[in-house]
Amino acid sequence: MSAISIVRAVLTANAPVTTMVASRIYPIELPQTGPLPAIVLHLSREVDGRHLQGQDQYPVADFITDACGESYAVADAVGEAVKTCLRDYRGTIAGHQVDYVLTDDLDFFDRGQSGTIWRRRQGFTMRYRSSSGQ
């Protein structure tokens, strides 16, 4: 399972986030049409340790969230809900044990590619493994 699927499961299980965006949490790209606010998830890097017996199957994933809204205030509020939900998250979800989610140095606003939708872009790092022990 992709790290992005795990992040999406964490966000959709969080009432403050789903109150704002419902199920509008998308991988990679925001649909051109559709209601806002919404969240877009991007996996930027995933590294799994290696040793003589193979890989650890305990990767560290870096990902970016885009909180998108019609205004700065909406994008900021959705971004803050995302940050509150993910920062220091630990738990078992979607068949995976998440040992930590940490914020990184990325947190800024822009108006996106079209210049009409506000976006709060934030970076996170997550360490996880399959909870089945595989």
The domain 3-130: what is its CATH number? 3.30.2000.30
Full-prediction pTM beyond 0.85? yes
- Residues contacting 106, CB < 8 A, separation 6+: 64, 121, 122, 123
Taking only the tens place, the pLDDT of each residue in 19-78 is: 999 999 999 999 988 899 999 999 999 988 777 776 677 789 999 999 999 999 999 999
Residue 20, Ramachandran bin (φ over 0: left; ψ between -120 and 50: alpha; else beta): alpha
What confidence score (pLDDT) does residue 54 get?
67
Residue pair 74/118 in contact by the 8 Å Cβ criterion = yes
- Where do the domains of the chain lie? 3-130
